[in-house]
């Protein structure tokens, strides 16, 4: 049987989602807790990989079990007690054997948070960026972004993908208060490093160091070398992963 896990995490202390040799990941931490609690090795597959330092308000993963599990509030509570305080499981529920956390997902929604004022409690959760920004020009750049589907210029060069096309649903900047600015972007898929590079490039536009014409030329060039630097990881959040409604039909 296959089960979905819905979880959230603060990525500050981790070397990203995926298991790797050079540091502790979200994936390996979850697998260790599940394997210990269920008394057998458990391997999970996430809806996507987040980089080191990136956070998730909503993430999904799946794992398989040879026998049906008794999913109770007590089970979830005990798993959360075993996990570090910066990882939280919200639900575990059965899905079809053909449902895949990554390949069945139909959308991902990210936010990037910027604050102009330093905050002693939010330093690892937002990007402290002091320069004044022309947000109207940044939103004009978003309008240009929505006209395109090939985002190779914003993908890390070592991305192991067959194509660089993403269908954007929306992209815009909005102030949440006088000092906090948030970038919202949703698409069917994202490339490795795409959101952070878009943000870094748009910050150049907001500071009027780059024109809208130059921005569109970057998109059309399909060359990562001419885009702006990637914004720091600490401001980026995966906030929603979308699936067809039937994925959740067995959720209780």
Question: In the prediction, which pLDDT does 161 show?
Answer: 83
pTM for the structure as a whole: 0.95
Q: What is the pLDDT of residue 207?
A: 97
Residue 184's DSSP bridge partners are: 111, 172
Q: Which residue has the tokens 């919200």?
A: 90
The region, left, alpha or beta by phi > 0 then psi within -120 to 50, assigned to residue 19 is beta
Annotated binding site for substrate: 110
Annotated binding site: 110
Tell me which residue of 154, 240, 242 sits closest to 204, measured CA to CA.
154
Annotated active-site residue 51? The verdict is yes
Separation of alpha carbons 172 and 193, rounded Å: 18
**Domain coordinates in residue numbering, the chain:** 2-103, 107-239
User: Can you state the percent helix, strand and coil of the chain, rounding each to 5?
Assistant: 30, 25, 45
Q: Where are the alpha helices (DSSP H) in the chain?
A: 26-38, 73-82, 135-145, 194-206, 212-221
CATH topology of domain 2-103: Alpha-Beta Plaits (3.30.70)
Architecture of domain 107-239: 2-Layer Sandwich (3.30)
SS3 79: helix
Q: What is the pLDDT along the chain (252 residues), one digit of tens a residue?
A: 999 999 999 999 999 999 887 889 999 999 999 999 999 999 999 999 999 999 999 999 999 999 999 999 999 999 999 999 999 999 999 999 999 999 999 999 999 999 999 989 888 999 999 999 999 999 999 999 999 999 999 998 776 788 999 999 999 999 988 889 999 999 999 999 999 999 999 999 999 999 999 999 999 999 999 998 999 999 999 999 999 999 988 675
pLDDT at 94: 95
Contact 192, 156 (CB under 8 A): yes
Question: Which candidate in 51, 64, 70, 119 is catalytic?
Answer: 51
Do you know the residue count of the chain?
Answer: 252
User: Using an 8 Å Cβ cutoff, are 100 and 4 in contact?
Assistant: no
Per-residue CA distances from 174 to 166, 178, 238 (Å): 22, 10, 17
Separation CA 128–CA 32 (nearest Å): 34
pLDDT at 178: 84
Q: Do domains 2-103 and 107-239 have the same CATH topology?
A: yes
Q: What is the pLDDT of residue 122?
A: 86
pLDDT of 159 reads: 67
The burial of 92, by beta-carbon neighbours within 10 Å (0-12 exposed, 13-18 middle, 19 or more buried), is given as buried
- Diameter over CA atoms, the chain: 59
pLDDT of residue 250: 67
Angle at 139 between CA 135 and CA 140, to 5 degrees: 115
DSSP 226: G
């Amino acid at each position: 049987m296959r089960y979905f896990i819905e979880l959230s995490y603060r990525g500050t202390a981790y070397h990203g989602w995926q298991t790797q040799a050079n540091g502790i990941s979200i994936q390996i931490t979850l697998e260790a807790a599940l394997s210990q609690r269920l008394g057998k090795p458990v391997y999970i597959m996430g809806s996507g990989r987040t980089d080191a330092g990136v956070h998730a308000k909503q993430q999904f993963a799946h794992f398989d079990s040879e026998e049906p599990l008794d999913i109770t509030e007590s089970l979830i509570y005990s798993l959360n007690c075993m996990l570090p305080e910066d990882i939280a499981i919200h639900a575990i529920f059965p899905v079809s054997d053909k449902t895949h956390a990554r390949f069945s997902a139909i959308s991902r929604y990210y936010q990037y948070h910027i604050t102009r004022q330093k905050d002693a409690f939010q330093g690892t959760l937002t990007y402290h960026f002091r320069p004044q920004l022309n947000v109207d020009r940044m939103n004009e750049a978003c309008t240009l972004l929505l006209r395109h589907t090939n985002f190779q210029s914003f993908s890390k060069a070592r991305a192991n993908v067959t194509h660089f096309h993403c269908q954007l649903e929306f992209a815009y900047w909005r102030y949440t208060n006088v000092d906090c600015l948030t970038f919202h972007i949703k698409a069917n898929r994202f490339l490795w490093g795409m959101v952070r590079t878009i943000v870094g490039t748009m910050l150049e536009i907001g500071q009027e160091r780059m024109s809208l014409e130059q921005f569109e030329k970057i998109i059309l060039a399909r060359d990562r070398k001419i885009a702006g630097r990637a914004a720091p990881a600490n401001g980026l959040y995966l906030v929603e992963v979308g699936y067809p409604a039937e994925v959740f039909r067995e959720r209780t």
